[in-house]
Amino acid sequence: MSLTPEFLDTVCHALANGNARRPGVDAELREAFPGLIFKVCDDNDIPSRLKPVAEGEGFALYAINTGEHCAALTAQLEGAGGLAIGLLNDEE
């Protein structure tokens, strides 16, 4: 499955209304979309130079490139095999 703007909309909808902070949401997304990586982290752990591929209330999504030997965050959807869900602090 490739990451498309429509797919990002689907994920943003699933994470809306505070669901991004629900324990186990990343496991639920992995089950719903087999073969893709989903990992929840604090948005402050993401390098500030990297721009999100999508955003929602309280979270930002970053593409994970899985095409190389090691997974790495990327600004490109092409070649991405998952998403990091960066949880935003209330002050942001």
Parse the chain into domains and list their residue ranges.
5-87
Report the percent of the chain where pLDDT is more than 70. 96
Which pLDDT score is estimated for 91?
A: 56
Average pLDDT over residues 30-38: 96
Q: What is the pLDDT of residues 39-78, one digit of tens each?
A: 999 999 999 999 999 999 999 999 999 877 788 898 888 8
pLDDT for position 19: 96
Q: What are phi and psi of 2, to 5 degrees?
A: -100, 150
Over residues 11-34, the mean pLDDT reads: 97
Beta-sheet strands, E only, within 1-92: 37-42, 54-56, 59-65, 72-74, 80-87
Please check the confidence at residue 92 and state whether its pLDDT lies above 70: no
Q: What is the pTM of this model?
A: 0.91
Q: What angle do CA 12, 68, 11 make, to 5 degrees?
A: 5
Residue 73, C-beta contacts closer than 8 angstroms, at least 6 positions apart: 46, 47, 50, 62, 63, 64, 65, 84
Average pLDDT, the chain: 92
CB 61 within 8 Å of CB 49: no
